[in-house]
Amino acid sequence: MESGRIFIVMGVSGSGKTTIGQLLAKKLGIPFHDADDFHSAANKDKMAHGIPLTDDDRRDWLAQMTAGISEWEKTGGAVLACSALKEVYRQELQSGAQQPIKWTFLDGSRELLRGRLLHRKGHYMKADLLDSQLETLEKPSYGLRIELSNQQSPQSIVAEIIQAYVPEHVEQK
């Protein structure tokens, strides 16, 4: 059986990872997973109190997702929305896959991202942690990089991802 492709939609909080990831998974007919769901209660509590996570805080979180990637690849693939801020985190996630992961980096200005976070309701990740994430972020030099703006629709971003990684899936006009 051919293994499935793993797509990771990454970026800092407010970049639209979950929205884009859910739409991409639906379009491709594969499962969607949100990295937020893999955080421990202690990690969520820290973030809710404006305390940035450390590499130690992220160790079990990354291990769970890496194991998940290995399973998801065997069962037809998946889309994961994950901040994956550091290269070492991305290497850990890739270590769970047999094939190269299809990375999409959603890159936006601090002002755009902060504005999105200030309008977000009911999420434990507060706008105050954006600067910490931006300082931690090591922008990847590989994968698909999408510059965010308020003019783009989530559907157009998903179409760009599909065009880049799954051109056989592009709808004919």
Among the listed residues 66, 80, 67, 82, the one whose alpha carbon sits nearest the alpha carbon of residue 30:
80
6 — phi, psi (to 5°)? Answer: -110, 125
pLDDT in tens, 51-110: 888 999 999 999 999 999 999 999 999 999 999 999 999 999 999 999 999 999 999 999
Non-local (6+) Cβ contacts of 32 within 8 A are 21, 22, 24, 25, 26, 78, 79, 80, 81
SS3 state of residue 130:
helix
Question: 74: which 2 tokens?
Answer: 């065997």
Q: What is the mean pLDDT of the segment spanning 125-137?
A: 78
As to burial, measured by CB atoms within 10 angstroms (0-12 exposed, 13-18 middle, 19+ buried), residue 152 is middle
pTM given for the model: 0.91
Give the pLDDT of residue 126.
Answer: 56
Q: Is the CATH number 3.40.50.300 carried by domain 6-167? A: yes
pLDDT in tens, 1-13: 346 899 999 999 8
Domain positions in the chain: 6-167
Give the pLDDT of residue 48.
Answer: 80
DSSP calls for 59-99: HHHHHHHHHHHHHHHHTT-EEEE----SHHHHHHHHTT-SS
